[in-house]
Structure 1
């Protein structure tokens, strides 16, 4: 099977292993009959006629020559039934995002839906490449992901990233964690908090924990006014619920949220005693007694 990728297109088809790039070997002979590479099993052994999938970091991606012409074939490549061609096109989408984002913007919603579909794919290479692409799209577009696309497209991508970050498969989990961190880094906290709040009560405890971590990172970037716009009471109630979560990651994130709220809430209070008193009044007025007591104790134990 021969592929004709774009100039410098990625992933690279090669038989050499370099020190700087991680690779997964996937046979290109009788693809439909082969078992899928799985992160919980040893990689398939090398053999003649293999394609090597390179996972290239964003820093090592290069701009595309003649991007105005190549954007025309990008969507076609993303919709291919050949998963190797989809991987190749996803990496070209990364390059468009980083270097030619204005050309990608009209197709951004389609790209996001392709990412969602690829994240659901059991093939390791396709799943990881799509997650890496989401990181670059967060970096390139930030809040434009909410301004120029259907809200449902973003919601689907966020859910898949939280699910992938919640897996036992370290190969996928770590990449999804990086993508979620990029999301928080390059998007405004307030609209992102509105998207994340539903997952703080998700039935899957691991999804709750991953959502709680992203929420805590958002809260750390907000001042009191932003928290009030979101709903200061809603935020402290969310943190109080997470303080009692079964997973330690969720509880730790909840403590971070409480700390951010306390620092913003008491920022203009100079007297330490006044800080504690106003904080206690706020907690007791808006939380169940047992939750208020736990949060007041948390802050006083600093």
Structure 2
């Protein structure tokens, strides 16, 4: 087969020339991105929170360590304003000044006692535990210094709110607040006259909160333990017996134990009224108590009450 002539072949392709690489200048979008990143970094630095200041603390001063004020006359003029301060540290300081006034200058505090009681109650509702505890300590000092005057110097509702807050604080889970409230309730039962206080506590033993009922029952028990038969009779022994019998069925053991203590106290004072009964007639005294229970209580409740004395 004859070969084709080489004249018809295509010319060979030229070899591509090497082109030198030139560094591309940054585009406009890249510059914008870099600027935005730098700006964001500056914003983050500005928004970084400063380190928190050292936490402030409050010293809880026992009543016996509170000294008298150097100038009580000047302090009483500004005390209510200081008690209303929104700064909780200053509020605690004002409450301690109030405690000093109550313990050492009670005659100066008496004219504004009602307003001071309202401020104390408000402070107990504060979420600041330090302010709450200091206000509870202030209430205990007021109970100690004024006693019966507290009821006559304040409106009924003001004292009722104070009592309710103490019972609520004694019922909560914060131990150091709860313990302080229990101390204040003990001081209240010890320093205030039993009859008017008992009337205040009577409504609290029917509170919807189980723990409040229990704390009220304990306070009532301590209050009744101070009463003689004349005061019990004035209030109504049968009324006290019915309250105690109802508390025997309470869900909390604290309330039931307080009810037993009330019943034992009532029975002891009731027996003293039978002056004609001698030691050799204890059975007659016991029968008189049982008769009293069955007259004033439903049969099942009367049996439960009588069983406590026979144990």
Same-fold call, TM cutoff 0.5: yes
Equivalent position of 1:10 in the other structure:
none
* In structure 1, distance between residues paired with 2:214 and 2:57: 35
SS in 2 for 1:266: helix
Structure 1 partner of 2:10: none
Write the mapping of 1:95-244 to structure 2, written as runs, cut at 5 A: 95-244=100-249
CA distance in 1, matches of 2:267, 2:173: 34
Q: How far did 1:221 drift?
A: 0.6
Cα RMSD, aligned residues only: 1.4
Matching residue of 2:282: 272
SS of 1:54's equivalent in the other structure is coil
1:285 aligns with 2:290: no
Provide TM-score, normalisation by structure 1. Answer: 0.83
Change in CA separation of 1:194 and 1:120 when aligned onto 2, cut-off 3 Å: same
Q: Shift in Å at residue 80 of structure 1?
A: 1.4
Aligned match of 1:298:
308
In terms of mean alpha carbon deviation, does 128-137 or 75-84 score higher? 75-84
How many aligned positions are there? 257
Provide structure 1 residue ranges, at least 5 long, that are not aligned to the other structure. 1-32, 34-46
Segments of 4+ in structure 1 off by > 4 A?
Answer: none
Matches within 5 A, 1:13-92: 49-92=54-97
- Higher fraction of helix: 2
In structure 1, distance between residues paired with 2:219 and 2:284: 31
* TM-score normalised by L of structure 2: 0.81
1:231 Cα deviation (Å)? 1.2
Question: Tell me, what secondary structure is at the counterpart of 1:97?
Answer: helix
CA shift for structure 1 position 86: 1.0
Higher RCO (C-alpha under 8 Å, 6+ residues apart): 1
The 3-state SS of whatever aligns with 2:58 is: strand
Separation in 1, partners of 2:187, 2:231: 20
Deviation at 1:49, TM superposition (A): 4.1
State the Cα deviation string for residues 88-126 of structure 1 (Å, max 9, x = none): 100000000000000000110111111111000100110
Distance in 2 between residues matched to 1:178 and 1:50, nearest whole Å: 28
* Cross-structure match for 2:22: none
Please give the alpha-carbon distance, in whole angstroms, between the structure 1 residues aligned to 2:56 and 2:78.
22
Determine the C-alpha separation between the residues in 2 that align with 1:215 and 1:274: 29
- Distance, in Å, in 2 between the alignment partners of 1:242 and 1:206 is 12
Report Cα offsets for 1:10-33 as digits up to 9, x if no partner: xxxxxxxxxxxxxxxxxxxxxxx9
